[in-house]
Each structure stands twice: as C-alpha cells, then as structure tokens.
Amino acid sequence: MTLDAQFNECGFIILRDFFNNEEITQIATHVDRIYETWVKKNEQAIYDYRLVNMHSLTSPKYFNDTPHQRVNFFSAIAPFKLTSVLDNIFGEGLYFHNTQLFFNPSNNQRLTYWHRDMQFSDIEDNAQRDEQHSILNLHVRIPLVDEKGLELVPGSHKRWDTEQERNVRFELGGRKNSDDLPDSLMMNLARGDVLIFDGQMLHRGVYKHNPIRKAFDVCVGKYHSISSCFLDPQVLPTEEEMAHINNNGWYTLAREVSAKIVKK
C-alpha cells in the first residue's frame, strides 16, 4: 500500500528509521535546551495544571542569547528529505503552523485523555464535524527517545464520533475521557522514526509505558479559515532569517497565511 493510500485509510503513517543519529541529535540539542529553560520557569505550574506538553519552541524568547541558533533550528526541523515526502503524500500547499513537545506529567493525578485537537478551541463541535473532510492539520512526530506513548483510533480522521466516543471525549453519561475506546492502536516508535498523523483524529497520549518521554511534534497543515486563524506569527522566521533557511517553503507559506490573517 502506498503512503498516501495508507494515510487516507488509517489517518497516520510511520516512516521507520527516517532520521539518522546526527539529525536527531541536532534537533534534540535545541529542544532539550528550550525545554529545560521552560521547565525551570514553570515547574510549579506544570505540576498544578498537570501539563503534558509545551508549544511554540521556535519563539524568539528562547533564542535571546543565541539568535543565530534559531535559523539552525528552523532548518533542522524542516529538511528537504522530510518536506519532499510530505509534498508527495499531501501535495503542495503545506505550511508550518507550530511546534510542540510532549512529556510525562510530573503530577501523577494526570490521566490520559481522548481528544481531537480543536476541541480545546472556541470552535463549536458541530462546525468541526462539518468541516472535517476539508481540514488537514498534521502532527509530524519526531520521538527524541524511544516511545510507546500515543494511541490512535484508525480511520477516525474520516468520520465523527460514535455515541461511545463522544461520551468518552466529553465525559458524558458517567464516562471519563481516560476510558479505553474500541479499535484503538498503540504507536510504538523508535528514535529516528517519524509518525505523521491527523490532529483531528481521535488520539491520546499514554504515559505509563515511558520512564522518559520526549515526543517532539512539528505541526503543519493546509490553509483553512477554521484552523489557520490560530497561527501565531511570533513562531515564524523573520524576513532576515528566511534568507538563511535554504528549504523554507513551509515557512514562506506560513508567512503568507499570517499576512492574510492580519489583513482580515
């Protein structure tokens, strides 16, 4: 089965041994520094709010002392070998949206939770359902350590919830969003693998299998009025930085989308 056919059917694909050790180390060096800085400043909030991820790792605030490293980070997370694979699967028009890092909770009261990404926005669930067929928001997961930490419901990118799924996702009828769902599949990834999945499919992070979890996601998508409005221009390269990023197609489109949003 071709990669595009697999994604159309399942909502995810895995590229095994995609990055070599040097490429992963280059990404991890930036991510580790940013994450450690963020944790030091937010340790109590991470515990109190039971956080399991941070976002916007390309924000300029993490590069105040080493601004040149920001260009290196942008280049490392969007190499040609990756962007060309995604272009072949999804066609042209993908743009960079943001980055996230997923980790184990420091507060053990945090349970796993089934969700579709945009359910945490102010966009009504019915509107998300109606536009599900035309929204493409992808997570490109690059595990920085081996990870058995993401569970998906294959095919749920093409349909909306069953009654059971809805009750679990929104904790209705006595159900909890940590309850197991039928037909789910646990992802087992090694350092160097890449997982590409639809952020609007049913998924959840799982913490118990990983003594350490460092799952770095590059979020990309195609323009849609519902999702593109959440693009933060602060996470994008500046015009000056763009000149030093050889493979800058994702960022070029992101800057165009950002400009379009500002004009509205």
Consecutive sets of 10 residues in the chain, 264 residues long: mean pLDDT of each? 95 98 98 97 97 98 94 98 97 97 95 96 95 96 97 98 98 98 98 98 95 97 92 97 97 94 66
Report pLDDT for 264. 57
Nearest to 187 by CA among 160, 205, 169, 202: 205
Cα(257)–Cα(120) distance, rounded to whole angstroms?
Answer: 22
Residue in the structure block whose two tokens are 């159309």: 8
Q: Which CATH number fits domain 3-230: 3.90.25.10, 1.10.3720.10, 3.30.70.20, 2.60.120.620?
A: 2.60.120.620
CB of 68 closer than 8 Å to CB of 114? no
211 half-sphere exposure, CB direction, 13 A CA radius: 0
Report pLDDT for 97. 98
Report pLDDT for 185. 98
H-assigned helices in the chain: 3-10, 21-48, 68-77, 80-90, 125-131, 163-169, 225-228, 239-242, 249-263
Report pLDDT for 168. 98
* Token duo for residue 189: 């990834």
CB of 231 closer than 8 Å to CB of 242? no
Report pLDDT for 261. 78
The domain ranges of the chain are 3-230
What secondary structure does DSSP assign to 27-91, as a single string? Answer: HHHHHHHHHHHHHHHHHHHHHHTT--EEE-TT-GGGGSS-THHHHHHHHHHS-HHHHHHHHHHH-
Report pLDDT for 262. 65
